[in-house]
Amino acid sequence: MTTLLVPEPAREVRDFLSQTHKLLIGGKRVDAANGETFEVQDPSNNLVIAHAPKGGKEDIDRAVKAARDAFVNKPWRKLTVSERGKMLWKLADLIEERVEEFAQLETLDNGKPLAISRAADIPLTVDHFRYYAGLATKIHGETLDISVPYAPGASFFDFTLREPIGVVGQIIPWNFPLLMAAWKLGVALAAGNCVVLKPAEQTPLSALRLADLFAEAGFPDGVVNIVTGFPEAGAALSAHEGVDKVAFTGSTEVGHEIVKASAGNLKRVSLELGGKSPSIVFPDADLNLAAAGVAGAIFFNHGQCCCAGSRLLVHQKIYDELVGRVSEQAEKIKLGPGMHPDTEMGPLVSIEQQNRVLSFINTGKNEGAKVLLGGDSPSGDMASGCYVNPTVFEKVQPKMEIVQEEIFGPVLVAAPFEDLEDVIAKSNNTNYGLAASVWTRDINKAHKAARGLKAGTVWVNCHNIFDANAPFGGYKQSGYGREMSLHALENYTQVKNVIVQLH
């Protein structure tokens, strides 16, 4: 891109950025207890665009108490499920009325192209809240026939109640800030829980704007509390004895910390962690479709997707052709600031993430992998932002760090395979198991691969397809529990069995 001149954000976005931002605790907008704030940067130029409150342990404690009070004493528990659903629907409407504002905030904060924020992040958020608005009235228990062999002749009626868990701590990442908040909040609220949400420090803005909308949507004070801050806030939330369940999306490393911290009061945990998902291309695939799909699988959201197709496994017969085509696609991607109308790939979220990705690239080079494309950051106008060029490594070895570790950037590692058995073994040869895609026209191969892959999601002839009604989550060290769909309710409800003896 020749110029980095970008349109000014909309007036309401500028107004919001210039505000003094506050936490949401017990329905009130408050400063962090220590009065501290932190800088929020635009990763396209690293300029400070806002200041967010730096909530810590004391704020988490206040927020957990407010959530408990709302769960036990406030009208929330007495509302009908239909009323809960209506609030979620209203929240979705309020976001939809502000698509452009939320999209611009997300782009300024995270760096992703505005076209993507507008077309994907915000509409998916709206749709997600609507899905759980509808589901609020469909949560139900069951009736069971029981025999009770040691009570011959007695008659029983057994039924289950599906009840909310209580106070839920939710810790979310920066790659899809508002959408990740929706994935966590929608199901928790539909099921009748109260929440303390901790956004990522890199991207607090859309959550702070969302905080303005809960009261208008009708949620009683304290049902949703939002505490922005640093890892201390997340650690305090996951260890807090007043929290009944913690849900986390982020790195596998922090996932381990969350599990340890949860032990104090044995709180329930659900984890959506890292991945090293393979895109698998068989020789009978539609190669145009596959090349575009494989490139999209890794370069969408700049590779900052937990399910990014970061490993490419191509049948040896078409290896050179397919890898060549994917590299051509990658070379054409227009890098630039997310707010620029021509941008197809923006900067990474932060300097730390840029350095982390560049460090993996250096490791790959040192390990002897061959750089086919990229492998560095752009110079010139873009040097002041957190950019990394789309990168393709080829003929990598299974033990290399760049093959085993989640890089979370626009870096693809490619290797050939011989047959179905070989590719299933290679695909499953990591600690992760979040997702995979299979590119083939052969339905038998597609089904056999889907069954053989140890992954929570398998896409066939597509990648990165999400829907609120489709469960998402990991095998192995990619986590446990499912996001979205009916399955997510299992993380946010507990089953009470009631046995009535009939006389």
The residues binding ligand NDP (CB under 6 A) are 171-175, 198, 200-201, 230-231, 234-235, 238, 249-251, 254, 257-258, 272-274, 306, 356, 406, 408
List C-alpha distances in Å: 237 to 165, 243, 254, 285, 366. 16, 7, 13, 47, 40
Looking at the Cβ atoms of 250 and 374, the one nearer to ligand NDP is 250
Residue placing its CB nearer to ligand NDP in the complex, 274 or 456: 274
How far out from the chain centre does Cα 66 lie?
26
Q: Which residues contact 447 (CB under 8 A, 6 or more apart)?
A: none
Nearest-angstrom CA–CA distance, 138 and 217: 21
Query: How far does Cα 19 stand from its chain's mean position?
Result: 27
Considering beta carbons, is residue 306 or 392 the nearer one to ligand NDP? 306
Closest contact distance (angstroms) between CB of 6 and ligand NDP is 25
Rounded Cα distance, 184 and 225, in Å: 13
Bridge partners, residue 224, by sequence: 195
Q: Could you give the count of Cα atoms lying within 13 Å of 67 in the half-sphere of its Cβ?
A: 32
Torsion of CA 48, 51, 57, 63, to 10 degrees: -140
> 10 Å Cβ neighbour count for 352?
11
Rounded CA-CA distance 131/179 in Å is 13
> Shortest distance, CB of residue 497 to ligand NDP, whole angstroms?
33
Nearest distance, CB of residue 101 and ligand NDP, angstroms: 23
Distance in angstroms (rounded) separating the CA atoms of residues 84 and 179 = 20
Q: Residue 250 Cβ, how far from ligand NDP at the closest point, in Å?
A: 3
- Give whichever of 251 and 461 is closer to ligand NDP, judged by the CB atom: 251
* CA atoms within 13 Å, Cβ hemisphere of 186: 29
> Which residue sits closest to ligand NDP, CB atoms considered?
234
User: 96 vs 257, which CB is nearer to ligand NDP?
Assistant: 257
Q: How many CA atoms lie within 13 A of 198 on its CB side?
A: 29
Q: What is the DSSP string of 11-65?
A: HHHHHHHHS---EEETTEEE--TT--EEEEEETTTTEEEEEEE-B-HHHHHHHHH
Catalytic positions are 272, 306
How many angstroms separate the CA atoms of 88 and 99, rounded?
16
**Structure-token pair, residue 276:** 């090293």
Toward ligand NDP, which CB reaches closer, 307 or 322?
307
**Residue number, 269 or 392, with CB nearest to ligand NDP:** 269
Integer angstrom CA distances of residue 319 from 149, 307, 434? 63, 23, 24
> What is the nearest approach in angstroms of ligand NDP to the Cβ of residue 19?
21
Q: Which of 93, 72, 68 has the alpha carbon at shortest distance from 225?
A: 68
In the complex, the smallest distance separating the C-beta of residue 316 from ligand NDP, rounded to whole angstroms, is 30
Q: Which H or E element spans position 457?
A: strand 457-460
Shortest separation between residue 238's beta carbon and ligand NDP, angstroms: 5
Q: How far is the CB of 408 from ligand NDP (least distance, A)?
A: 3
Cα separations (Å) of 38 from 22, 332, 340? 12, 37, 26
Nearer of residues 238 and 391 to ligand NDP, judged by Cβ: 238
Minimal distance, residue 409 CB to ligand NDP, in Å: 8
Question: What distance in Å separates the CA atoms of residue 452 and residue 421, rounded to the nearest whole number?
Answer: 9
CA distance 310 to 463: 11
Query: 485 or 493, CB closer to ligand NDP?
Result: 485
